[in-house]
Amino acid sequence: GYNTGVINAPQKVIEEFYNETWIHRYGEPILPSTLTTLWSLSVAIFSIGGMLGAFSVGLFVNRFGRRNSMLMVNLLAFVAAVLMGFSKLGKSFEMLILGRFIIGVY
């Protein structure tokens, strides 16, 4: 719900994670414009995933039934949680962004 879609509260923590990851990869701090772009993408990708999920729900329900569709969607939520949860360990902000996209589809 709300706590998944709106991520303004942990913004500084996520931006620090992006900067640490960038320094680990490239040996220099992230440019403010790049950080803003990554942050904007992180926020917007959730809605893009939600739009895709909203448009595809009818297809899944008609093809697989309600029960199987719910099971498949819960699998998506698990995959998204794993991606977001292990993004810091993997030093990959891409995992966080992809996880937010998938949880948006959920």
Residue corresponding to tokens 């993997």: 90
pLDDT confidence of 99, banded at 50, 70, 90? very high
pLDDT confidence of 33, banded at 50, 70, 90? very high
**Each residue's pLDDT tens digit, 16-29:** 999 999 999 999 99
DSSP reduced 3-state for 18: helix
Mean pLDDT, all residues of the chain: 89
Distance CA(62)–CA(59), nearest Å, equals: 5
pLDDT confidence of 3, banded at 50, 70, 90? low
8 Å CB contact between 45 and 94: no
DSSP reduced 3-state for 90: coil
pLDDT of 1 reads 59
In this prediction, residues 39-58 reach a mean pLDDT of 91
In the predicted structure, residue 105 carries a pLDDT above the cut 90 = no
**Each residue's pLDDT tens digit, 52-62:** 989 988 888 99
The C-alpha R_g of the chain, in whole angstroms, comes to 16
Question: The whole model's pTM is what?
Answer: 0.84
In the predicted structure, residue 5 carries a pLDDT above the cut 70 = no
